[in-house]
Structure 1
Amino acid sequence: MRFFRIAALSAGLALAAPANAYWEYGHETVARIAMANVTPRTRAAVKRLLAATPELGTPECPATTIERASTWADCVKPLKDPNGKSRFGYAYNWHFQDVNICRPFTLEEACKDGNCVSAQITRDVAILKHKRTSQKERAQALVFLIHFVGDLHQPLHAGEKDDKGGNDVAAAYGIYSPKRFNLHSIWDGTLAERAITTGPSLIRRYPPAVKARIAAGDVTDWSRESWQVAHDSVYATALGGDPCAPSPAKVTLSETTIEQLIPVARLEIERGGLRLAKLLDRALG
């Protein structure tokens, strides 16, 4: 019964969520894992900066809690200035990086001019480290960082095959197949939600050895890893074992396949949370 409840909830979200969102549940869980694993000093610094987020002038998108901060970058996408222009249109490409899974891994083209998720993560950490930067700028860097680390660990924000991160691949989730459902929306919502609610809670204090192992490396390493997950798990399972085979008009993830993917999706959430904790400690702790 849980499958049908989650699927029904996710279907409603699928029609309303932005194309490049990692739905609320995924982002909130990444953020809460991070807050459970940062140092007390970092946690206090995060709370001080979140308290300053009203200075961002986005009352439609409050960010004073870690959960709301985690989805702020998606919430502000439709906001416009008095002249009708997008206030945050410049940040659209910061949510993802289109690295083709069927070519050798490189960020050079995907991150040209620094307009990609991994480059922005690095930039936000640098802003947070710089204590002379204004409180408003640091608060904005924080809410962007919280969101973008989550985005990087949704595999279809890190790897794709010229299909807009799976948005162009119509898909069915088991027997569930609403209109406009696609491979991206499955990994954004239905699969992420089921993975998070399957098994022990991911929101806990992790042992130091586990944190060190999962959070090892840097943003480039994490980008390559997420890209590899897109290759090995997302497309391989959807396309019958050959991730670089031509995509059919529609793919179906069977219940057996979904069960196999749950541990993969759980690990991506876990990685995102512990790596965000590492970056926050480095910038604020």
Structure 2
Amino acid sequence: MRILIYCFSFLFFSSAVFANEDWGKNGHRAVAQIAESYLSNKARDQIEKLLEGESMATASTFADEIKSDSRYDEFNTWHYVNVDFDATYQTVDKNPAGDLLQGIKTCLTQLEDTTTSANDKTFYLKMLIHLIADMHQPLHLGLEEDRGANDIKVTWFGNSTNLHRVWDTNMIESYNMSFTELAHHKFPLTEDEINIYQEGNLMDWFDETRILTQEVYLSAQDGDALGYAYSYQWLPRLRKQLHKAGIRLAQMLNELYG
């Protein structure tokens, strides 16, 4: 299996630009921990077998950890997808190097294929856990021209950062909860809301997140000083995205292994 380095120097491709991080470790681990609480027993058994006892939370950061290993370079572009707001994913030219949606579909295909080796199934399961979370980070569906809002420079409580990193890491870090606390102190969701989140398919979830992406782009401008007021307004939306991602990841795994 060949794999591409996902580097922090921002390699450019014809139709996409990748982000420098995705949810940060706590965000990804929280999504995986949330997903575990919604798994069926059958899915849980299959996942434990493939992960050889490793928790989904630990496995969730694997796709970031392999970025420094040159054997894993073909997955470079799987962490994001860029589509102009006046276009749709279906109508734009696809990145020949792959993108977030193509990556998720490849993971599902490999996991469903009875000829895929056990080692490869483990690999693609870890990738899927990570990528479903990425798809719910709105700026991983950002614009090519500013590299998913990495070029929108802002300050966070006086420290230089960018809008992408605010959503990846800064808001979660400032909230000062561990990933288990983020998962267990659940965002208040009704049964009806959970059922709604479980409905639809991959493209429905992508299109829904893209609506939030456009809202986030309007939430700050280059040079803005962000802090308490921004967190007060947007942290609940961020936390809800973590739970949507976890619920939907579990739904996908339950269908896969049910």
TM-score w.r.t. the length of structure 2 is 0.83
For residue 140 of structure 1, the aligned residue among 114, 120, 123 is 123
Count of aligned pairs: 237
Max Rg structure: 1
Residue in structure 2 matched with residue 189 of structure 1 by the alignment:
169
CA 1:259–1:235 in 2, change beyond 3 Å: closer, same or farther? same
Residue in structure 2 matched with residue 19 of structure 1 by the alignment:
20
For residue 98 of structure 1, the aligned residue among 77, 82, 94 is 82
- Percent of residue pairs bearing the same amino acid type: 26
CA contact (8 A) 1:30 1:269 kept: yes
Q: Over aligned residues, Cα RMSD in angstroms?
A: 2.6
For residue 204 of structure 2, the aligned residue among 221, 241, 245 is 221
Residue identity in the other structure for 2:57: E
Secondary structure of the residue aligned to 1:112 is: coil
Secondary structure of the residue aligned to 2:218 is: helix
Secondary structure of the residue aligned to 2:224 is: strand
For residue 228 of structure 2, the aligned residue among 255, 259, 270 is 255
After the TM superposition, which residues 1-285 of structure 1 pair with which residues of structure 2 at under 5 Å, given as runs?
Answer: 19-51=20-52, 64-79=54-69, 86-101=70-85, 103-109=86-92, 111-113=94-96, 115-160=98-143, 162-173=145-156, 175-178=157-160, 181-194=161-174, 197=177, 201-203=182-184, 209-232=192-215, 234-239=216-221, 248=222, 250-285=223-258
- 1:277 CA displacement: 0.3
Secondary structure of the residue aligned to 1:51 is: coil
Distance 1:176 1:214 in 2: 36
TM-score w.r.t. the length of structure 1 is 0.75
Gaps of 5+ in 2: 1-18
Gaps of 5+ in 1: 1-17, 53-63, 80-85, 240-247
Q: How far does the alpha carbon of each residue in 1:250-284 deviate from its partner, in whole angstroms, 9 at most, with x for none?
A: 22224222200011101110111001001111112
Residue identity in the other structure for 1:270: H
Residue in structure 1 matched with residue 12 of structure 2 by the alignment:
none
CA 1:114–1:220 in 2, change beyond 3 Å: closer, same or farther? farther
- 1:121 CA displacement: 1.0
Distance 1:31 1:71 in 2: 10
Distance 1:238 1:34 in 2: 31
Q: How far does the alpha carbon of each residue in 1:83-111 deviate from its partner, in whole angstroms, 9 at most, with x for none?
A: xxx1111101001001223x233244364
Distance 1:190 1:110 in 2: 33
CA contact (8 A) 1:99 1:227 kept: no
CA 1:32–1:255 in 2, change beyond 3 Å: closer, same or farther? same
